[in-house]
Structure 1
Amino acid sequence: MKPMADFDTLLYLQTIANHIQDAVYVINKQGDELFFNNKIERFEPSQRQHMLDELRSVFLTGKPSFDKYTKYITVDRREVHMLSTIIPIEKHGEIVAVCSINKNITEMTNLLNKIYKLQEQLHNYCQSSANLQNGTTYTFDCLIGRSPLMSAVINKAKKAACSPAPILLTGETGTGKEIFAQSIHNYGPANSQPFVALNCAAIPETLLESMIFGTTKGAFTGAENKPGLLEQAGRGTLFLDEINSMSLVLQAKMLRILEEKKFRRLGSNQEEPMNCRIISSSNVDCHNLLAENKMREDFFYRVAVVNLHIPPLRERQQDILLLARYFISKFNKAYGKQITRLSTDLEETLQNYSWPGNVRELCHVLENAVNFFDDNEATLTAAYLPDYFHKQSLIPMHTVEAATAQNQTLPQTLEGIERQLIIRALAASKGNITKAALALGIHRQNLQVRLKKLGITKNVQFVVK
């Protein structure tokens, strides 16, 4: 590669430096400014002179400094908190320049304090609104479903509740993973202890670690002695929702905690015992994350000592109407309606829909329908469903006609269509199960179950007709 001219190099570096959030400042032995970006403009003259003095001292000591905390007050009385790293730059063993990288952590500190306040408010709200005294609302009695798949996973969950082993709940969005987590907690021996939940995807990565582990005063600007969620959970349960959003770095730290049952608050050298049980959840197939190097294999095996898969609503079709009647009864009370029955066309529509949003979508759809329900009627019909329900593409008529000609039952017809779709997806992906599952919009585990059930071998030479 042809080396760039000095001017071009400086231009590129300046453009890049102007788009990072940290202030960069470089001087030579004479104190001349060699390089700086536009973030340096937020420093007032007095603070800039102080920074210059610190850089000059490094020419004498030759020692770098990392994450040095500085606080100063601006002329308009604003408090600014900085973390500075100062690095000597050597050439032929001689220090020729010193670079300072300055991170303004004022906003981060303010945001962290706001999150702590919201967390406290949420905790107080949960204590006042929950049905139970441990911060939960749900038990296994709240889980509605009589299908074999749902009954099987509930039985497994009850057995797992009696063990202290970490549990990983997997399932699509809206399948009820947190309801299962709370139910497991309330069924277990530590049900009188706190249940603490955290959505890993909703918290910025820079703050997630401090929320889980807690902080020690002086760990960073504005940090106070605050217990993290591991401490708040006590001997109860810490539920980490959407753990698939956790970075590889934090996964490594959580792995150590799970193995050693000890942790440290940020900024502390003292180890604390971890007494709570960890239940986590993922709405993404963790095997795909492992294949894409987005999840550590050792972390997965530690956090998923017990792995429970919550089936999507489309795989437990006989539970759809059961759930629908439950939600209608609930919304009758909430909105003062008198819906006494569901029409045949509504029942058929609900059962034939694929429910990509699962139970959460069913709940939303029915609440929407109840809101528009005519108080003079008693039967809820498909006409009250959202518009997109009336635009669903139907099964091609030639498929229906062929099934009718062969006197096939509805289950036989649906199984035939399912077989065709799976074979086509496998053909398009050249037998790759992961890619085929992605194209079908289902989890890899679900596709493997279907392949076994339908007797389809993924290695067969598929031909798309």
Structure 2
Amino acid sequence: MSNSSFAFFLATGRNIPALVEKNNGVMEMKKQEERLKRILSYETVNQIFDALDEGIIIVDRDYNILFYNKTLTRIEGLESNSVIGKKLLDVFPSLTPEESTIYQVIKSAKPIFNRYQTYLNYKGKEIRTVNSTIPIIENGQVLGALEISRDVSELYDLSQKVLELQQKLIGRKPRSANIGLRYTFDSIIGRSQKIRELVSLLKKVAGTTSSVLIYGETGTGKELFAQSIHSESPRRNKPFIAQNCAALPETLLESLLFGTTRGSFTGAEDKPGLFEQADGGTLLLDEINCMGLSLQSKLLRVLQEGVVRRIGATYDIPVDVRIIATTNERPSELLKSGRLRNDLFYRLSVIYVEIPPLRERLEDIEDLVMHFIEKYNEKFKKNVKGVDRQVLSLFKEYPWPGNVRELEHVIEGVMNYVDEGYISLSDLKYLSFGSFKNYVEHKAERPSTVKSRVDEYEKDLIINALKSTGGNITKAAQLLGIKRQALQYRLRKYGIDKKLFS
């Protein structure tokens, strides 16, 4: 590439913000521009672009290729010296001006972001990328375009394999088969009031067809609750299909959800999407907060009209699918930031529930611990009976940012080293991961005083008394052998909420 050909790219330095003074802003910007030009020589920019994981191609307004980095060489199998100076469509003959994002951007002078594209190079190799294409403009004239390409061929192949496997499952099994279903409401461990109320509510709504939106922090068990709703519903013998919206780029997720028609893009075949496969059953859209706004509008149409249209099709297909969506971010924050459409939120949240984090249901920890111990006793062929009181006390102090999933991982990790008896504080030293390990080590640096250990013991006694009396203060005080007023004082002292036990 000649220096004159590359000059238009350097001119884009005018778009980089400079620290300017109010009175001499224009002069300061000119100085910064000259400094930028001196730093960004062709060799420097070449080194920077070659170091990126994304492919970079630059063309002029006549569609001559001026720059082509090493990453594109790896993606497309073409050497830069064999494409620089050639016309874009000579190198990629399968593209038409209408299909090429570069042609569209140069013609319209408007950028295109995250556009899925599939094409053949002149060697016949099929390329699948997600492109962002930006016009290069100076003095109101389009000088060319820069395109950034991310290779998604492997992701596409993986998604197609998943889709084919799902189709084979449906083809082999009767439509009454439950796909991927493992949990029922009996799988939910917990006696806390919040969990009891949540389960009671969801059992009532399970019999309807209304959409459900579930919010919960990572690790709280959102899919467990979603599957339980399906298992309790009249759709229990119909498909249950789950799709993580964060696992695939939006264009691939769209083809997976809605299906494709032969010829809709290069290599496309007639394939039903997940909506068609889940017909009569339930479709779980996990991490709906990661779905792009464009795809959200298409999802809204399915919810409102009960039909889907495959990519490239000219006809609609009626579907009867109950949607359960989950998010690990509060919907209020998603709406405020514009990452969730208001109309989709109102359509999804006909039934809206929040799963409490583990730190708000501490009375469930003991039951959960025993559940996981029994699970890994069976899996590891061991005979661990439980955890000692000090470990249980530590579990109830720790805030569990990873919630129930983190607790399970801790139990699993410890049980790799303990064969029988009770898990003690000394066994926790074997843990080699995570914030819980750091918490244990930090706590070990501050030895407990006699008073603090007595307080912990007293607190445990009070909690157990409240559990056995269903939160009745008078009966708990009698059980402990102290006056009612003395018990109330200790409840305030230890921050114990009696309502949690009623």
TM-score (norm 2): 0.65
Counterpart in the other structure of 1:307: 352
Question: Do the aligned residues in 1 keep the contact of 2:68 with 2:84 (CA within 8 Å)?
Answer: no
Question: Do the aligned residues in 2 keep the contact of 1:242 with 1:281 (CA within 8 Å)?
Answer: yes
Task: Tell me the amino acid that sits aligned with residue 209 of structure 1.
Answer: E
2: distance between equivalents of 1:402 and 1:161?
44
Task: Tell me the amino acid that sits aligned with residue 251 of structure 2.
Answer: T
* Deviation of the 1:190 alpha carbon: 0.8
Is 1:51 the equivalent of 2:89? yes
2: distance between equivalents of 1:83 and 1:316?
44
Counterpart in the other structure of 1:382: 425
- Structure 1 residue corresponding to 2:67, chosen from 23, 37, 56: 37
Is 1:26 the equivalent of 2:75? no
* Deviation of the 1:8 alpha carbon: 9.6
- Structure 2 residue corresponding to 1:71, chosen from 103, 120, 127: 120
Is 1:286 the equivalent of 2:334? no
Pairing of 1:17-166 with structure 2 (within 5 A): 21=55, 23-26=57-60, 36-39=66-69, 42=78, 44=82, 48=86, 51=89, 71-74=120-123, 78-80=125-127, 107-121=151-165, 133-166=178-211
1: distance between equivalents of 2:264 and 2:37?
36
SS in 2 for 1:146: coil
* Deviation of the 1:104 alpha carbon: 7.1
1: distance between equivalents of 2:66 and 2:494?
67
TM-score (norm 1): 0.70
SS in 1 for 2:300: helix
Counterpart in the other structure of 1:229: 274
Pairing of 1:49-448 with structure 2 (within 5 A): 51=89, 71-74=120-123, 78-80=125-127, 107-121=151-165, 133-373=178-418, 375=419, 377-385=420-428, 386=431, 387-391=437-441, 393=443, 411-415=491-495
> Could you say what the CA RMSD is over the residues aligned between the two structures, in angstroms?
4.6
Q: Decide whether aligned partners of structure 1 residues 90 and 169 sit closer, same or farther in structure 2, where only a CA change above 3 A counts.
A: closer
* Deviation of the 1:110 alpha carbon: 4.8
- Structure 2: unaligned runs, 5 residues or longer: 1-24, 98-102, 106-114, 432-436, 459-485
User: Residues 252-283 of structure 1: CA distance to partner in whole angstroms, max 9, x if unpaired?
Assistant: 22222222222211222221223111101011
How many aligned positions are there?
398
SS in 2 for 1:196: strand
- Structure 1: unaligned runs, 5 residues or longer: 59-63, 419-448, 451-465
2: distance between equivalents of 1:228 and 1:13?
49
1: distance between equivalents of 2:415 and 2:91?
70
SS in 1 for 2:220: coil
2: distance between equivalents of 1:402 and 1:267?
68
Question: Do the aligned residues in 2 keep the contact of 1:72 with 1:81 (CA within 8 Å)?
Answer: no
* Deviation of the 1:7 alpha carbon: 9.5
Question: Do the aligned residues in 2 keep the contact of 1:84 with 1:100 (CA within 8 Å)?
Answer: no
* Deviation of the 1:121 alpha carbon: 4.5
Q: Decide whether aligned partners of structure 1 residues 111 and 83 sit closer, same or farther in structure 2, where only a CA change above 3 A counts.
A: closer
Task: Tell me the amino acid that sits aligned with residue 67 of structure 2.
Answer: N
SS in 2 for 1:37: strand
Task: Tell me the amino acid that sits aligned with residue 239 of structure 1.
Answer: L
User: Residues 135-171 of structure 1: CA distance to partner in whole angstroms, max 9, x if unpaired?
Assistant: 3011111111111110100011111111111100111
